[in-house]
Amino acid sequence: MNQFDVLIVGAGPVGLFLAHEMVRRQVRSAIVEQEPGQSEHSKALAVMPRTMEVFEMAGIVEPFRRTATPARFARIVAHQRELARIAFDPQNCDYPYVAMIPQNVTERLLAERLAAAGGAVEYETRLVGFEAAPDHVVATLEHGGEQRSVTARFLIGADGAHSTVRHGLELPFAGSEYDQSFVLADVELAGPLAGDEFHLCPSERGPLALFPVSANVWRIVATVPDELGTTSPDLELLRALLADRGPAGVEASRLIWSSGFRVHRRQTSQMRAGPVFLAGDAAHIHSPFGGQGMNTGLQDAWNLAWKLRLVLQGLAGDKLLDSYSHERHAVARDVIAQTDFITRAMGTASAAAQFLRDHLLPLVTRLPAFQDRFVQTLSQLAVHYAGSPVVVGEGRRAVNVRLTLSDGGHPVRLYQLLDGRYLLLLVGGPEDETRRITADLAARYGEAIDVRRVESLDGVVRVELLRPDGYLAFEEEIRQPAVAPALERAAARVVALLDGHLLGASGPTPDTAARSAPRSSALPPAASPSASASAPHHPR
């Protein structure tokens, strides 16, 4: 087969996860990788709580849960003195830890899930080049010295920092390189280290971090003098780094794997160019401190997958695809800024900054507000899509709460209801009115939306529109005495939002969709999406 809906270039974690989602969503797709197989090195290690939630929604979380070494505390140590110990316990999340899983294991698990779903990677297959038309891409692939042409509706570049796809688009990769070199190493350590902690060790000679890989194996991440270049560190250098910057009494006994490298902070100006998309390191790279890189890329894939499916099924328009770059570019920009701040703050040579850090950090980190922000940011649970063209309001993550549906049956968890379509929850309200709205919206948007009536446990009536990726596109509480008219107005605001990028059951264009509701509908003419009101509140 040389014709596909989606061609994915690169079989790292991002490409593998996206390929799994394409197969799971029954999208005709292919994934190619120029290497002969998956990486044997651990590289990225931390799988954050939001990524675990994403894996749950994708139906693949269990092998990751079983494999992970959970890190439940962040310990900050400077000059062998503990400055802070923060419980990594995000609220309203079923994964109150950082799941430590070496990248080679993550890739193996994703490749196994892809194979179980019926997909496969074409290894030793290189993208030579491509030509993009407005509605498709013709790519040239090379395998075994032979070339072939492949036509795809969409091309996804998940091929890393030296992305062939990005170069083919001639997109600049703006940013700069850090002055220091960095080292990664997996080492057997002995000493007073708790297996459920990770350690951040600031130093005027450069930062160092320790993460548990298994019972006695730890990942070391550190900067080293620039003159060492990208030489892989030996055991003696690692012992010196630990003695100089690490916690007291920690000794390295055996080196398992190490690598030296330079780190850049760079980002493309956009993540979509017509039918071509970039994801992961192909679009953004940054410091490894914070463990954000792989997670950001995996959530690029999660954001893009459902949008591609709806468009390929003829259920959504081009505006939905544009929202990918709008949303994920902003997230990556923030991640680059956050990891840059962590790296610089942990390695500052300023005596004044060190004094403030060593004396203020023990006080600040005791504040619940600081702890919550630290955990929510690092876990990526704080990611939101406010300002997106396909969102009204905060665009925040929906909590996986337990719901009681109005049609009876056992209570369900929210994420169980997400099936690739939008999910509209009508929480409480008059039965006749919610039934009419349910029927009208289902008829209007056909296969693109699932509408559910939910019992309100606190007596508050709500309208909430969830995207297939578990983020809220719209939310409104209804507290007016006249509930039925307010419900109709809220439903009209949902219609106004969806008509901008979804196509109705009979295929109206975005320009005509707002006028397509029949007069007998319970939904009045669509109001402006900006009319959304009331404080957000997720159903409990």
Checking if the pLDDT of 230 tops 80, the result is no
Per-residue confidence band for 505, with pLDDT thresholds at 50, 70 and 90: low
Give dist(CA 422, CA 497) in Å, integer: 12
For residue range 522-539, list pLDDT tens digits in order.
343 333 333 333 333 333
Token representation of residue 311: 């468009």
Quote the pLDDT of residue 229. 65
Angle between helix axes 483-498 and 431-445 (nearest 10 degrees) is 10
Checking if the pLDDT of 24 tops 60, the result is yes
Quote the pLDDT of residue 534. 31
Helix, coil or strand: residue 7: strand
Q: Give percent above pLDDT 70 in the chain.
A: 92
Checking if the pLDDT of 321 tops 70, the result is yes
Lowest mean pLDDT among 149-163, 370-384, 437-451: 437-451
Quote the pLDDT of residue 231. 80
Do the Cβ atoms of 155 and 135 come closer than 8 Å? no
Cα→Cα distances 168→163, 172, 514, Å: 9, 11, 39
The average pLDDT across 78-99 equals 93
Could you tell me the pTM of the whole model? 0.90
Cβ atoms < 10 Å from Cβ of 283: 31
Give strand ranges (E) for 133-193.
137-143, 146-157, 173-190
Checking if the pLDDT of 540 tops 70, the result is no
